[in-house]
Amino acid sequence: MNRALVILILLFGVLSAAEIRDNELYLEINIAVDNQIIISGEDIFIQEQDPFFAKEYSGSIRITLPTSTNDSRYGIIQRVVDESVRGYIEGIRSSKFVWEEGKLALKNEYAIYLDQSFRSYEEAQQLAMMMGYPESHIQQIPIVNASLRVDSDSGDQEYFESPIRIYAEDGIQFGNITYKGEFIVKAQNGKLVFNHLLPLETYIAGVVPNEIGNSSPAEALKAQAVAARSHAVSLLGYNRHAKDGYDLCSTTHCQVYKGEHLQNEAIQEAVHETAGEILYIDDKVADATYHSSCGGKTDSSVAIWNGTPLSHLSGSTCLDAARNIDLSREPQAIKWINTSVSTQGMTSWERAGMNWQRSISKAQLTKNLGLTYLTSVQIMRRGASGRILSIKFYGDRTIELSGEYRIRQAFGGLPSSLFYIQGISSRSKHSLGNKITLKGRGSGHGVGMCQVGALRRARADEDYKSILQNYYPQTTIITDWMKQE
């Protein structure tokens, strides 16, 4: 054990760095987690946090984490104190979002570690058990003074202390995508974590085109901007990536973010005209989840994911023609899937979600289900959108699959679980042929805003507030949701 090393680490430890600058919320959006990060561009400044050391680069730059100098260590958290407790600055600081008096607040808290660190998780585990600390108190200590090696294509080599900040006004290229502004690279959990540090509004502009397309009508872009902003703010409240070293990831797990990719004037206008607007309900942000195409009606969050019923995610009618049809019933759902609906004005991805057909061999389905043989199937339950929520398979075992996503995966990755098996028209047990044909409608989980519906409404001159009201009933739009100290 090296006590001097541990204390040095604890003095400067910072896990994540969401911050408020000039009344604007800045977030760390993760771009990549890898052993090496290769970026390129002109006039790129790389700077150490402390002590101050900066260098300018142009061309291709490779950042690596030399393993020899970066042994990771494990510590045991003794207790966590918040910033209101004076005199405890020697802990590892992490910023955490909380809802306070109806507003989102950014709080710092400090994890105070035991005076001992360990080379392996097992060693830490042994002591934690002896001293009665739960396993969740064992954490890899972020090695803030780890060395990051920076190699330029001109053969120049430099070592920086983690974390480093990168400034690139004219942008950097990473994986064929351009990102502009400020970045953070840090050593965490034995990897390099590469984050874009940017204002919430800039982030939203990088999400909207990747979620709904950049040539959508203005009111649909605005609806998407408000939904994406609300979803982001809602996710922040869960601190779901706090231990990973960033606020949100850039994949579908949070929301797809790709920097400048697909951005244009229309996108920036939609974000600007709805600046700061989020959907609000019961003194909190309304989680504005969304999906590609409901297929007629949206479903409730409870039917799709269980959990607490939410009045703004209880399902609504998207297509008027489906309004009086009970899609949770078998014959009605089948009849609806076969009812033709207008696809006028739709782009190809929208049309693809309205009617689709897939097939799978019984052999493949048997394999996907982990069965030896399969004889028959039985649809058990559909949600308000007509999505199958539960289905039974009979073979060498009987399997009941629950959840629209698992059902889609079992059939080889269907666009949605709003489908029927050709030849099966009732809720009773049916035997399966060797080739199984599926006919369906809709794409995605079906909860919250339907993007195809938002586009259709925008083309029919509905404004974004009315679009949002349809998919998130009982919500209001507010801009004053961030608690300023």
| Site residues (vs Zn ion, CB under 5 A) | 249, 253-254, 294, 318, 450, 453
Task: Please identify which residue in the block is written with the tokens 């108190």.
Answer: 137
Whole-angstrom distance, CA of residue 23 vs CA of residue 268: 20
163 prior amide bond cis, ω within 30: yes
By the 8 A CB rule, do 289 and 430 touch?
no
By the 8 A CB rule, do 303 and 383 touch?
yes
Distances (CA, A) of 115 to 78, 336, 467: 9, 66, 56
**Region at 113 (left for phi over 0; alpha for psi -120 to 50; beta for the rest):** beta
> Which is closer to Zn ion, CB of 80 or CB of 242?
242
The least CB distance from residue 47 to Zn ion, in Å, is: 27
> Which is closer to Zn ion, CB of 304 or CB of 450?
450
Helix (H) or strand (E) holding 393: strand 388-395
Whole-angstrom distance, CA of residue 451 vs CA of residue 313: 15
Whole-angstrom distance, CA of residue 92 vs CA of residue 183: 21
> Which is closer to Zn ion, CB of 44 or CB of 450?
450
> Which is closer to Zn ion, CB of 29 or CB of 278?
29
For residue 252, how many C-alpha atoms fall within 13 Å in the half-sphere facing its CB? 7
> Which is closer to Zn ion, CB of 161 or CB of 299?
299
The 10 Å Cβ neighbour count of residue 344 is 8
> Which is closer to Zn ion, CB of 93 or CB of 240?
240
> Which is closer to Zn ion, CB of 366 or CB of 416?
416
Residues 417, 418, 420, 425: what is their CA dihedral angle, to the nearest 10 degrees? 130
What tokens does 274 get? Answer: 């709805």
The least CB distance from residue 481 to Zn ion, in Å, is: 21
The least CB distance from residue 93 to Zn ion, in Å, is: 22
The 10 Å Cβ neighbour count of residue 176 is 7
CA 132 vs. chain centroid, Å, equals: 35
> Which is closer to Zn ion, CB of 294 or CB of 360?
294
By the 8 A CB rule, do 223 and 464 touch?
yes
> Which is closer to Zn ion, CB of 266 or CB of 346?
346
Whole-angstrom distance, CA of residue 407 vs CA of residue 400: 10
CA 216 vs. chain centroid, Å, equals: 22
> Which is closer to Zn ion, CB of 70 or CB of 355?
355
> Which is closer to Zn ion, CB of 161 or CB of 244?
244
The least CB distance from residue 445 to Zn ion, in Å, is: 12
358 DSSP β-pair partners? 438
The least CB distance from residue 333 to Zn ion, in Å, is: 15
The 10 Å Cβ neighbour count of residue 324 is 8
The least CB distance from residue 453 to Zn ion, in Å, is: 3
> Which is closer to Zn ion, CB of 163 or CB of 446?
446
The least CB distance from residue 315 to Zn ion, in Å, is: 11
The least CB distance from residue 226 to Zn ion, in Å, is: 17
Distances (CA, A) of 479 to 229, 238, 475: 11, 20, 13
Whole-angstrom distance, CA of residue 268 vs CA of residue 180: 15
209 prior amide bond cis, ω within 30: no
Helix (H) or strand (E) holding 218: helix 218-236
The 10 Å Cβ neighbour count of residue 472 is 29
